[in-house]
Amino acid sequence: MAKESGIGMTLQVDDSGGTLRALTTDATAVNFATPRTMQDITGLNSSAVERLLLLADFSITMTAVFNDAVNTMHDVFKTIPSTSVTRTVTIAISGQTLTNEAILTDYPLTRAASGELTTSVPGTLNSTVVPTWA
C-alpha cells in the first residue's frame, strides 16, 4: 500500500443533456463525503450507546474558477437553476473511482474584491445506489 496525495485527481460532471464533461482544469477544490445515517437503539438496560447503521448517502461541493468556454464549468452548471436533472458525478484518484447520481442544488457565483470570479456548487445523492469506490 502506497501513501499518495490528491494530486492527479479528476472530476467529471454531466451537463444537463447527460454528457459527462471533464471539469478538472476549472476545479480548484472538491469536498465530498459518503456518510451513513444511524439509529440509536439503546435500551434502558444499557450503560453504553447501541446503534444500527442505516442508509448510505453522498454529498459534494465543487469549487471552480469561472470558465464560460464550450463544455466547461459554466456550460455544465448554468442549467442548475432551470433544469431538474440528475447529474453523474465521477471522482477519480489513483485508479480509484467514485461515481454517483447527484442533484446539484445551486450555482452561486462570487466575485471577490480582488476580481476573481468563482463558484462553489453543492450536490447530494439522488439514487438508491450506495456510494461505492471501484
Secondary structure class of 88 (helix, strand, coil): strand
- The one-character DSSP state at 101 is E
CA atoms within 13 A on the CB side of 78: 10
Grid coordinates given for 89: 458525478
Q: Which phi and psi angles does 27 have, rounded to 5°?
A: -75, 135
Cα–Cα dist 131/96, whole Å = 13
Residue ranges per domain, the chain?
Answer: 10-125
Cα–Cα dist 134/131, whole Å = 10
pTM confidence score: 0.90
State pLDDT tens for residues 88-99. 999 999 999 999
State pLDDT tens for residues 21-57. 999 999 999 999 999 999 999 999 999 999 999 999 9
